[in-house]
Amino acid sequence: MLPDTAPAPLDVLRRVFGYDAFRGPQQEVIEHVCAGGDALVLMPTGGGKSLCYQVPSLVRDGTGVVVSPLIALMQDQVDALRALGVRAGFLNSTQNPDERRDTERAYLDGELDLLYLAPERLRVPSTLSLLGRGRIALFAIDEAHCVAQWGHDFRPDYLALSEVHERWPDVPRIALTATATEATRTEIAQRLDLTAAKQVVASFDRPNIQYRIAPKNEPRKQLLDLLRAEHPGDAGIVYCLSRKSVEQTAEFLVGQGIPALPYHAGLDAEVRARHQSRFLREEGVVMVATIAFGMGIDKPDVRFVAHLDLPKSVEGYYQETGRAGRDGLPSTAWLAYGLADVVQQRKMIDESEGDRAHKQRLGQHLDAMLALCETVQCRRVRLLNYFGQPGEPCGNCDTCLTPPESWDGTIPAQKILSTVWRLKNERNQSFGAGHLIDIVTGKRTAKVEQFAHDQLTVFGVGADLSEPEWRAVVRQLLAQGLLAVQGAYQTFALTDASSEVLRGEREVPMRRDPVKATRTRSRSSRGDAPALAPELAPVFERLRAWRGATAKEQGVPAYVIFHNAV
């Protein structure tokens, strides 16, 4: 029970934080925790999770102990709170013994409203004994998805958090995360012993963020176009997969007169701290980073988040894009996505350590991400549905604004797949996308001549589509699991599902990337090439009836392979 003298949460919100009203489910959560209840809170990035434990820490007697993996941000968070007059401190490995002692003394003297702790501190017996000698208002477990072993941010130290509960069973606990799939939620609740806690799920919609996923041609140039046309002078984050590409992209942007800074785990801690602080304090800085950057960063005016490489999961993508537009103003989430991304990610999963179940799990995450990229539906609806929430077409994402056509890609699929099949079965060879496309489009390259691939019956069967269109076809075959990447050379192989396509038992719906007149895209054969060559449709129909006959006898095109052969 709260003493009568305890301040009311709304007073604290107004007086200390200077806000008028609670947002979303904040009030519900705060009242529950103030009254001593446990809570598991799921709110999108930028939703306002911090107040959910900061306000109760001020309302309740004692110190709110906040466990957070964001060591690099603790100083900033504490400074920001102190500027509001909140008595806050932190304990982590970056402090010298004097600083640590001062914080410990303040805690023991009851002079701290909030104490931020790095999770590894909880493993240290002296920390637990210190906590035991003071008065704890509540435990807050921020970024609680770090306890999920399958997640991308797993921290083993988070597993120690269940011991805290055993030791202080009467102290309320509040766990918070922006990672919200049912599976992760269940895992968090179980591992933190919060299955009986009140679960509060906020809407995951971020209406001010415009989601766009563009076909990748020349990503850096596309990025530059985006920044110049829509975000001149704006602060933003550009995510790249590798450290090297972070460095190169930052260099490229700087060369173009854009104040960009690199950030990745390979840089000195001191450099990282300096870049992070410039990003937070100066205006219009573009941070080019690996996913090592961004968790917990509370910069309200990040106007865009751009991904130059495909994220590994929808959850990661949503967290990263959620760093845009915390101030509620219009912001852009832009992702460039292409064939090479799919090849690379499939290969990375293949080569990753861990057992089959682990790889399967990674594969499912990737598939969900690919489905988001290839969808013809509203991106926002797809995202919300992924997090188990309903949604209406938003009218603001790229697919709402420029609806992509869907088209029947069965015959182009058969052309590519039968090329893979013939190379394997007639030549015992396998190749990557570029060469396959050269074969079907009938390009006489040196490699084609070297292997006499112009002798293949499938040579030139696909001259009706342009090379970019073929790349989109191959990309979607990979995305749909109708082609597999294999071996060190990333060549293609058929899957069980691709045989169904070759036998004419399965159709292959595809998305046509909307054409946007950009400098990088000089020509397109779209105008003269119908989606599904009409003269071929009847062939496909006849084929279903003619199974068993040989291609030669019936004049069936070379790219069709009969079921008994596949």
Contacts with Mg ion, residue ranges (CB under 5 A): 49
In this chain, which of 12, 51, 397, 478 binds ligand ADP, going by CB under 6 A?
A: 51
Q: Is 22 in the site for ligand ADP (CB under 6 A)?
A: yes
User: What is the nearest approach in angstroms of ligand ADP to the Cβ of residue 18?
Assistant: 9
51 interacts with, out of Zn ion, ligand ADP, Mg ion, none, CB within 5 to 8 A per kind: ligand ADP
Reported in sequence order, the residue ranges of 356-448 that DSSP labels E, i.e. its strands, are: 405-408
User: What is the nearest approach in angstroms of Zn ion to the Cβ of residue 46?
Assistant: 19
User: What is the nearest approach in angstroms of ligand ADP to the Cβ of residue 366?
Assistant: 25
Q: Is 264 in the site for ligand ADP (CB under 6 A)?
A: no
The H or E element containing residue 511 is: strand 509-512
- Quickly count: other Cβ atoms within 10 Å of residue 155's Cβ: 18
184 interacts with, out of Zn ion, ligand ADP, Mg ion, none, CB within 5 to 8 A per kind: none
378 interacts with, out of Zn ion, ligand ADP, Mg ion, none, CB within 5 to 8 A per kind: Zn ion
Q: Is 380 in the site for Zn ion (CB under 5 A)?
A: yes
Q: Is 19 in the site for ligand ADP (CB under 6 A)?
A: yes
380 interacts with, out of ligand ADP, Zn ion, Mg ion, none, CB within 5 to 8 A per kind: Zn ion
Q: Is 286 in the site for Zn ion (CB under 5 A)?
A: no
Q: CB-wise, 400 or 515, nearer to Zn ion?
A: 400
400 interacts with, out of ligand ADP, Mg ion, Zn ion, none, CB within 5 to 8 A per kind: Zn ion
Q: Is 48 in the site for ligand ADP (CB under 6 A)?
A: yes
In this chain, which of 114, 213, 306, 397 binds Zn ion, going by CB under 5 A?
A: 397
Q: Rounded CA gap, 476 and 215, in Å?
A: 12
Cα angle for residues 147, 150, 153 (degrees, 5° grid): 55
User: What is the nearest approach in angstroms of ligand ADP to the Cβ of residue 516?
Assistant: 32
Residue nearest to Mg ion (CB): 49
Task: Give yes or no for a contact between 507 and 476, defined as CB atoms under 8 angstroms apart.
Answer: no
Dihedral sign for Cα atoms in the order 465, 468, 472, 475: positive
Which residue's entry shows tokens 């519900």?
28
Residue 534 DSSP class:
G
Q: CB-wise, 239 or 318, nearer to ligand ADP?
A: 318
Task: Give yes or no for a contact between 417 and 497, defined as CB atoms under 8 angstroms apart.
Answer: no
Tokens of 504: 């004419």
Q: CB-wise, 59 or 373, nearer to ligand ADP?
A: 59
3-state secondary structure 472-503: HHHHHHHHCCCEEEECCCCEEEECHHHHHHHC
Please identify, among the stretches 40-48, 165-173, 446-454, 514-522, the one whose residues bind ligand ADP according to the rule CB under 6 A: 40-48
Q: Is 114 in the site for ligand ADP (CB under 6 A)?
A: no
Give residue 245's identity as a one-letter amino acid code.
S
Which residue's entry shows tokens 């766009």?
212
Q: Do you know the residue count of the chain?
A: 566
In this chain, which of 8, 273, 376, 400 binds Zn ion, going by CB under 5 A?
A: 400
Q: Rounded CA gap, 335 and 120, in Å?
A: 35
- Quickly count: other Cβ atoms within 10 Å of residue 216's Cβ: 19
- Quickly count: other Cβ atoms within 10 Å of residue 541's Cβ: 11
Q: CB-wise, 44 or 409, nearer to Zn ion?
A: 44
Task: Give yes or no for a contact between 27 and 165, defined as CB atoms under 8 angstroms apart.
Answer: no
In this chain, which of 40, 378, 436, 472 binds Zn ion, going by CB under 5 A?
A: 378
Residue nearest to ligand ADP (CB): 48
Task: Give yes or no for a contact between 306 and 236, defined as CB atoms under 8 angstroms apart.
Answer: yes
Q: CB-wise, 48 or 266, nearer to ligand ADP?
A: 48
# chain residues binding ligand ADP, by CB under 6 A: 15
Alpha carbon 448 to its chain's center: 39
Closest alpha carbon to 324 in 433, 422, 208: 208
In this chain, which of 272, 307, 326, 422 binds ligand ADP, going by CB under 6 A?
A: 326
Q: Is 46 in the site for ligand ADP (CB under 6 A)?
A: yes
In this chain, which of 34, 43, 114, 333 binds ligand ADP, going by CB under 6 A?
A: 43
Task: Note the maximum CA span of the chain.
Answer: 94
In this chain, which of 25, 33, 45, 237 binds ligand ADP, going by CB under 6 A?
A: 45
Q: What are the residues whose beta carbons fall under 8 Å from the beta carbon of 356, sequence distance 6 or more?
A: none
In this chain, which of 32, 49, 303, 471 binds ligand ADP, going by CB under 6 A?
A: 49
CA contacts within 13 A on the Cβ side of 383: 29
Q: Is 382 in the site for Zn ion (CB under 5 A)?
A: no
Beta bridge partners of 235: 302
CA contacts within 13 A on the Cβ side of 313: 20
Q: Is 372 in the site for Zn ion (CB under 5 A)?
A: no
Tokens of 286: 């573009």
Q: Is 158 in the site for ligand ADP (CB under 6 A)?
A: no
Q: CB-wise, 45 or 498, nearer to ligand ADP?
A: 45
397 interacts with, out of ligand ADP, Zn ion, Mg ion, none, CB within 5 to 8 A per kind: Zn ion
Q: CB-wise, 231 or 379, nearer to Zn ion?
A: 379
User: What is the nearest approach in angstroms of ligand ADP to the Cβ of residue 152?
Assistant: 17
22 interacts with, out of Mg ion, ligand ADP, Zn ion, none, CB within 5 to 8 A per kind: ligand ADP
Q: In what order do the strands lie in the sheet with 331-337?
A: 209-215, 331-337, 302-307, 235-239, 286-289, 260-263
Q: Is 302 in the site for ligand ADP (CB under 6 A)?
A: no
The H or E element containing residue 166 is: helix 161-167
Task: Give yes or no for a contact between 441 and 463, defined as CB atoms under 8 angstroms apart.
Answer: yes
Q: Is 50 in the site for ligand ADP (CB under 6 A)?
A: yes
User: What is the nearest approach in angstroms of Zn ion to the Cβ of residue 404?
Assistant: 12
Question: Which residues contact ligand ADP (rule: CB under 6 A)?
Answer: 19, 22-23, 26, 43, 45-51, 298, 300, 326
Binding site for Zn ion (CB under 5 A): 378, 380, 394, 397, 400
